């Protein structure tokens, strides 16, 4: 009997070991898979991620919910470096592009996962006028200003404070003071970003800012998604919806022409679900200018506060992403400038053309210079407030 028990115990041990190896994953393609956890309280853990070239310590926080979803956020750029979501079989995989090390983020980052400020998207010639003062910003994208300049919010170290966990969510608070004149913008801008992960597989991103002088603000989040969970796949098979009857055509330098164009009968009509790849290679002047989609859509129901504005669906994995926002616009960028030179998180691989897409909620590009666009001015005593939520499910 004793021998039989020993054999049984030994077999159970072997079985458990095999299960553990399967759960932690093996091989390059599986290394971003994690096992389904359940019934755990949401929590935040912290570890060191590295040190910047000028000696600032960078922390990494992992937000976990009770369903097993995890979001890693580093204090450099407030970057989401990893975000696991379940497929239709309950298998969790990382669904956001990024790097494995801080050095890679500092060396060359096309804004993977980053917070963008002070002004998301482009400002023509890097210039705008407020109260008769003309401000010259960095021209870091041809002759235009892009995503806050040479050292935007994606390249600064934020101060992090994990909030006490609640039963149904965890929140990481990030703050950053951008001083008067930083990157050419007026006013001391105190910014807070709250990342909240809920037990409904929702990540809320809430932005608040105040300034002691009149200034302009347009904050966003620049995560590149690939819902397949394998970054060697393109995103052309992802089906997208965007609740917008109009979009903003651009000039050769990707600055809106000022025209608000009807999407009807164009490749820009995403009012019904359509694969990103369905019309991306159509002969179309706007698509050639963006090398694909790199445009801002004029969202419907702009006065309705937080409302669902876009979805993305990857049929093979069943992953479904719903985006809600308080913002009037959304930029769909289809990874047109990824060219196989940047290293992937998947060992030995690189990020190829159109292997990630961004849906960046925001005010319209170049608003300070376009009088028919909603205003982006923040006055002293006012609070900039913007919210975007990302909800994952499967179908
Ligand atoms: C812009 C693209 C730009 C990309 C940089 C997007 O938000 O719309 O034009 O190339 O960011 O990664």
Q: Which residue has the tokens 């990024």?
A: 98
Catalytic residue among 145, 222, 238, 295: 222
Distance 132 CA to ligand 1 centre (A): 30
Same domain for 137 and 246, yes or no, is: yes
Residue 117 sits in the same domain as residue 170: yes
Asked if residue 192 and residue 88 are part of one domain, the reply reads yes
Q: Are residues 80 and 174 in the same domain?
A: yes
360 is a catalytic site residue: yes
pLDDT tens sequence for the chain (395 residues): 344 455 445 444 444 443 333 333 333 343 445 544 555 799 999 999 999 999 999 999 999 999 999 999 999 999 999 999 999 999 999 999 999 999 999 999 999 999 999 999 999 999 999 999 999 999 999 999 999 999 999 999 999 999 999 999 999 999 999 999 999 999 999 999 999 999 999 999 999 999 999 999 999 999 999 999 999 999 999 999 999 999 999 999 999 999 999 999 999 999 999 999 999 999 999 999 999 999 999 999 999 999 999 999 999 999 999 999 999 999 999 999 999 999 999 999 999 999 999 999 999 999 999 999 999 999 999 999 999 999 999 99
Residue 47 lies in a domain: yes
Residues 206, 124: one domain?
A: yes
Q: Is residue 20 part of a domain?
A: yes
Domain count, the chain: 2
203 is a domain residue: yes
Instruction: Tell me 4's DSSP state.
Output: H
293 shares a domain with 166: yes
Query: What separation in angstroms does the CA of 233 have from each of 86, 237, 342?
Result: 17, 9, 15
Domain-located, residue 38: no
And the tokens for 360?
């960046």
Q: Is 206 a catalytic residue?
A: no
- Residues 209-237, buried b or exposed e (16+ Cβ, 10 A)? bbbeeebbbbbbbbbbbbbbbbbebbbbb
Type and span of the H or E element at 308: strand 307-314
- State residue 14's pLDDT score: 43
CA gap 339, 275 in Å, rounded: 21
User: Is 297 domain-assigned?
Assistant: yes
Question: Which residue range is the domain that position 243 belongs to?
Answer: 43-394
Atom 9 (ligand 1) nearest CA: 294
Nearest CA to ligand 1 atom 4: 110
Q: Does residue 49 share a domain with residue 16?
A: no
The partner residues of 387 in beta bridges, in order of sequence, read 206
Beta carbons within 10 angstroms of residue 64's beta carbon: 21
What is the reported pLDDT for 40? 78
Could you tell me the pTM of the whole model?
A: 0.91
Give the pair of three-digit tokens for residue 114: 């980053």
- Domain identity same for 20 and 54: no
Residue 97 shares a structural domain with residue 214: yes
> Strand runs (DSSP E) across 111-270, as ranges?
114-116, 122-123, 127-130, 133-136, 145-146, 159-162, 169-178, 189-198, 202-211, 215-216, 220-222, 239-242, 244-248, 261-262
Q: How far is the CA of 333 from the centre of ligand 1 (A)?
A: 6
Cβ of 148 less than 6 Å from ligand 1: no
Name residues whose C-beta falls within 8 Å of residue 332's C-beta, 6 or more positions apart in sequence: 240, 242, 270, 293, 294, 295, 297, 310, 357, 358, 359
Q: Please provide the DSSP assignment of 283-300 as one string.
A: S-HHHHHHTS-EEEEEES
- Does residue 310 share a domain with residue 240? yes
Is 163 among the domain residues?
yes
Q: 353: buried, middle or exposed (CB in 10 Å: 19+, 13-18, 0-12)?
A: middle
- What pLDDT, on a 0 to 100 scale, did the predictor assign at position 9? 52
For residue 84, the domain's CATH number is 2.70.98.10
Mutate to test the pocket of ligand 1, among 96, 117, 119, 147 (most ligand atoms within 8 A of CB): 147
Ligand 1 neighbourhood includes 111 CB (under 6 angstroms) = yes
- φ and ψ at 256, to 5 degrees? -55, 140
Between CA 354 and CA 340 the distance in angstroms is: 10
Q: How far apart are CA 53 and CA 32, in angstroms?
A: 28
Residues 28 and 48 in one domain: no
- Rg of the chain over Cα atoms, rounded to whole angstroms, equals 22
The stretches of the chain forming alpha helices (DSSP H) are 2-24, 27-30, 102-107, 285-290
Q: Are residues 212 and 234 in the same domain?
A: yes
């Amino acid at each position: 009997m004793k021998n039989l028990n020993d054999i049984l115990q030994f077999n159970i041990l072997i079985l458990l070991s095999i299960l553990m190896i399967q759960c932690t994953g093996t091989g390059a393609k599986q290394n971003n898979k994690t096992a389904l956890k359940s019934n755990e309280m949401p929590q935040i853990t912290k570890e060191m991620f590295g040190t910047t070239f000028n000696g600032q310590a960078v922390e990494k926080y992992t937000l976990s919910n009770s369903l097993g979803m995890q979001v890693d956020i580093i204090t450099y750029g407030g970057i989401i470096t990893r975000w696991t979501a379940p497929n239709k079989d309950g298998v969790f995989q990382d669904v956001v592009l990024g790097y494995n090390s801080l050095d890679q983020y500092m060396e060359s980052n096309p804004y993977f996962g980053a917070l963008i400020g002070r002004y998301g998207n482009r400002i023509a010639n890097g210039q705008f006028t407020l109260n008769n003062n003309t401000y010259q910003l960095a021209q870091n994208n041809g002759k235009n200003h892009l995503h806050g300049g040479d050292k935007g919010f994606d390249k600064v170290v934020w101060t992090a404070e994990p909030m006490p966990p609640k039963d149904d969510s965890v929140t990481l608070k990030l703050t950053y003071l951008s001083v008067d004149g930083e990157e050419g913008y007026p006013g001391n801008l105190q910014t807070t970003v709250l990342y909240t992960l809920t037990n409904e597989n929702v990540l809320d991103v809430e932005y608040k800012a105040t300034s002691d002088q009149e200034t302009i603000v347009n904050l966003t989040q620049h995560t590149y998604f690939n819902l397949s969970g394998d970054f060697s796949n393109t995103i052309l098979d992802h089906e997208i919806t965007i609740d917008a009857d109009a979009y903003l055509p651009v000039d050769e330098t990707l600055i809106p022409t000022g025209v608000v164009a009807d999407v009807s009968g164009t490749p820009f009509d995403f009012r019904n679900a359509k694969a990103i790849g369905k019309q991306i290679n159509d002969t179309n002047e706007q698509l050639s200018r963006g090398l694909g989609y790199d445009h801002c859509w004029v969202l419907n129901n702009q006065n309705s506060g937080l409302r669902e504005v876009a979805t993305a669906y990857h049929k093979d994995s069943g992953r479904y992403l719903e985006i809600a926002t308080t913002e009037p616009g959304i930029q769909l960028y289809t990874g047109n400038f990824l060219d196989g030179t940047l290293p992937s998180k998947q060992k030995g691989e690189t990020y190829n053309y159109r292997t990630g897409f961004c849906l960046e909620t925001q005010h319209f590009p170049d608003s300070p210079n376009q009088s028919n666009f909603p205003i982006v001015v923040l006055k002293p005593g006012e609070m900039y407030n913007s919210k975007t939520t990302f909800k994952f499910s499967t179908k």
